[in-house]
Amino acid sequence: MLDTDTPSAGFYRGEIIHVRTRPTRHEFRYNVDFVVLDLPDLSTFEAAKPVFRRNRFAPLSFHDRDHLVPSPDSVTALDKLNHVLVQAGKPKVTSACLVTFPRFFGFGFSPVSFWFDASSQNLTPLLLEVNNTFGERHVYHLNAEASRCHTIEKTFFVSPFNTTRGSYRVRFAPLAHGFSVRVDLEVDDRPLLFTTLRGQFRCASRWAATAAAMRCLVSGTTALPFIWLQGFRLRTKGLKPVMRPNSVSEDTLIIEPTRKHKRPRNST
């Protein structure tokens, strides 16, 4: 459980740091804005309207349909979370904390989201939700009994420069007035990738939402352009893409309708 310095609902200004150690070293970082949401109650974000809205177009927005199993907006993200938990033989929760990336001016791509059980005083990690650029979505179930460190086997194809082999080590380290998580990929018991997401807390206000939207508008710091750029740079360093596997894990919630061997553009 995350028993101290738990992240507060609101806006977060931070950065993503990504390091590949082999076969050639490749490192990059970029600034990001993300949110921490208390579900089902989003009253904390009332002060951010009309810049931040739920299930409606706005400079910043959160849409229930962007998460977990496919469904219309009328089905809440919390209901979908409970559906996934029940399917995995786990108990339902009455409230949840979601760390994710909002849509910017109607456009959004959240490479990863983190789900916690907020039913009790302490946050219990539940799911790691991952999207790839094919429109596929996968969930990794985290160990509720673990403290801050979780080890899970990699079963989802994300990057054309990595297979589905290996394991992730997920480590949460909430900071005072912030949030931090590190995800390491190990293959053959050796480190391959290190990825860190961290950010400082900003109260949910119209000013904080406007500032985040303006940063995105001016700099274009959304996830997809950086993914494509880093993929191009890896190619220039001599890394060759691998073919996508045809096998699909039972925890993959959304599968691309036509499973073709394409050269994907992910870089992580």
The answer to whether residue 263 sits within a structural domain is no
Burial of 43 (0-12, 13-18, 19+ CB in 10 A): exposed
The answer to whether residue 173 sits within a structural domain is yes
**CA dist list (Å): 169 to 114, 115, 191:** 14, 16, 10
Number of domains within the chain = 1
Over the stretch 148-191, which tens digit does the pLDDT of each residue have? 789 999 999 988 888 899 999 999 886 667 899 999 999 998 99
Cβ neighbours for 86, distance < 8 A, ≥ 6 positions apart: 92
Percent share of the chain, pLDDT over 70: 86
Q: Catalogue the E-assigned strands of 40-146.
A: 52-54, 60-62, 96-100, 103-104, 112-117, 124-131, 137-141
The answer to whether residue 46 sits within a structural domain is yes
DSSP track, 181-202: EEEEEEETTEEEEEEEEEEEEE
The helix/strand/coil state of 247 is: coil
> End-to-end distance of the chain based on CA atoms, in angstroms?
27
Question: Which amino acid, 127?
Answer: L
Question: Would you state the structure tokens that stand for residue 158, as one six-digit string?
Answer: 């994300």
Quote the pLDDT of residue 254: 87
Report the side by side order of strands in the sheet with 60-62.
Answer: 52-54, 60-62, 103-104
Closest CA to 91 of 141, 49, 134: 141
- Ramachandran area for residue 60 (φ above 0: left; ψ -120 to 50: alpha; else beta): beta
- In whole numbers, what is the pLDDT of the chain averaged over residues? 85
Quote the pLDDT of residue 264: 42
Asked if the model's pLDDT at residue 218 lies above 50, the reply is yes
Rounded to two decimals, the pTM is 0.89
Closest CA to 27 of 177, 194, 142, 207: 194
Which helix (H) or strand (E) covers residue 6, if one does? none
Closest CA to 182 of 98, 95, 191, 122: 191
CA distance 250 to 121: 32
The answer to whether residue 62 sits within a structural domain is yes
CA distance 229 to 122: 39
209 vs 109, higher pLDDT = 209
CA distance 10 to 204: 5
Residue 54 is part of which domain span? 10-254
| Position 112 confidence tier, pLDDT thresholds 50, 70, 90 | very high
**Cis bond leading into 245, ω under 30°?**
no
The answer to whether residue 145 sits within a structural domain is yes
β-bridge partners, 171: 149, 182
The answer to whether residue 259 sits within a structural domain is no
The answer to whether residue 260 sits within a structural domain is no
Over the stretch 58-104, which tens digit does the pLDDT of each residue have? 999 999 999 999 888 889 999 999 999 999 999 999 999 999 999 99
CA distance 211 to 13: 10
User: CA torsion 81→32→225→28, rounded to 10°?
Assistant: -110
The answer to whether residue 79 sits within a structural domain is yes
